[in-house]
Amino acid sequence: MVTSKRSKIGDWVVVFLCFLLILVCLLPLLNIFARSLSASEALIRNEVTLWPIGLNFEAYRMVLSDVKYTWSLTWTALLTVICVFVSLVMTTICAYPLTYRKLKGRRFFSAFIIFTMYFSAGTIPMYLLLNDLKMLNKPVVLIIPYCLNVFYMIIMRSFLLQIPDSLRESAEIDGAGPVRILFQIYLPLSTPVIATLCLFYAVGRWNGFSDALMFMNDRTYYPIQLLLYNIINSISSIEISTQEGFSPPGLSETLKAATIMFATVPILLVYPWLQRYFITGVTLGAIKE
């Protein structure tokens, strides 16, 4: 009796701690959300905490009517789609041949690829290379240089290796070649890993900014995060207020919050639905061959 009562109290403590965790994870976002919907005067008076005060959609209207933001959001979305496609194709055609145990040179290719995970030349050699390739400041520099991630390739390979060899062998007896086996047997069975890698590559591109910061000078092709960085650090806030002229000083604060919401919400809408998949993906990454 005593022990069960004790463990019941323990259960409540656990629930309470988890509840605290949820609060700590969510409150910052709720605060930003409230700020984005509040009246700028309320922000200046420091009244806004977790719910909007003086509810209005002015900041969102301003973001959506400013070409600078809408273009950056569209460009980043487009870039993300292209990157995910290129990366998935590259990852698949790299991982799939490596699952053939009969492939001669398989060990060499694996070592050749995995070596780059442990030793990299560094930022500056990459910069010099891109300079020599004449890729600097061109949109392609945001797509190609990091399009194939070794760690994700290993996740894919581990997943494909779990598909029983007997499936492949029976298809080979029926006369199917490797490419046909890939398309008709392997890919249809790979939804979990494809979904996971889609999410990882998409998040990486949508949230990434350091490659743009280093290799891209053309402001037209700045991804949303870099634009956001400049806004948050008020590099362009003077610009904004002079453009608007009549705007009250607190408005730039609600504007920042609204921009943050725009850059965050797309991912937050997607990831919970893929949870089942990315958990398998992350776990597979831990398996080494």
Partner 1 sequence: MKTTVSTRLISLPEKKQKIGTYLRRYGILYLLMILPLTYFIIFKYIPMTYIQVAFKKYSIVKSAWEMPLADSNGFEYFIKAFSNRDFLYSLRNTIMLNLLDLVLGFPAPILLALLLNELRIKWFKRITQTIAYLPHFLSWIIISGMAVQLFAPTSGLVNILLNHMGIKSIPFLNNSANWVVTYVFLGIWQSVGWNTIIYLAAITGINPELYEAAAMDGAGRFRKIWYVTLPCLRPTIVVLLILSLGRILGSEFDRPYALGNALVKDVSNVIATFVYTYGIRGLQFSLTTAVGLFQSAVCVIFLFMANALAKRFGERGII
> Which residues in 158-217 contact partner 1 (CB under 8 A)?
177-179, 203, 206-210, 213-214
Distant-in-sequence, close-in-space partners of 206: CB < 8 Å, separation ≥ 6 = 76, 80, 223, 224, 225, 263, 266, 267
Q: Which of 141, 190, 260, 277 binds partner 1 (CB under 8 A)?
A: 260
Interface residue with partner 1, options 52, 53, 109, 185 (CB under 8 A): 109
Question: Interface mask (CB under 8 A) for partner 1, residues 36-65, using x and -?
Answer: -------xx-x--x----------------
Closest C-alpha among 235, 256, 228, 226 to residue 60: 256
Q: Does 90 bind partner 1 (CB under 8 A)?
A: yes
Give the residue ranges of DSSP H helices in 38-57.
40-44
Of 26 and 64, the one with the shorter C-beta distance to partner 1 is 26
Per the CB < 8 A criterion, the answer to whether 74 and 206 are in contact is no
In whole angstroms, how close is the CB of 150 to partner 1 at the nearest point?
Answer: 9
Q: Between the CA atoms of 48, 49, 52 and 57, what dihedral angle is there, to the nearest 10 degrees? A: 70
Q: 117-156: which residues touch partner 1 (CB under 8 A)? A: 118-129, 144-148, 153
Scan residues 236-255 and list those touching partner 1 (CB under 8 A): 253
| CA-based nearest residue to 107, from 284, 117, 120, 115 | 115
Q: Which is nearer to partner 1, 124 or 245 (CB)?
A: 124
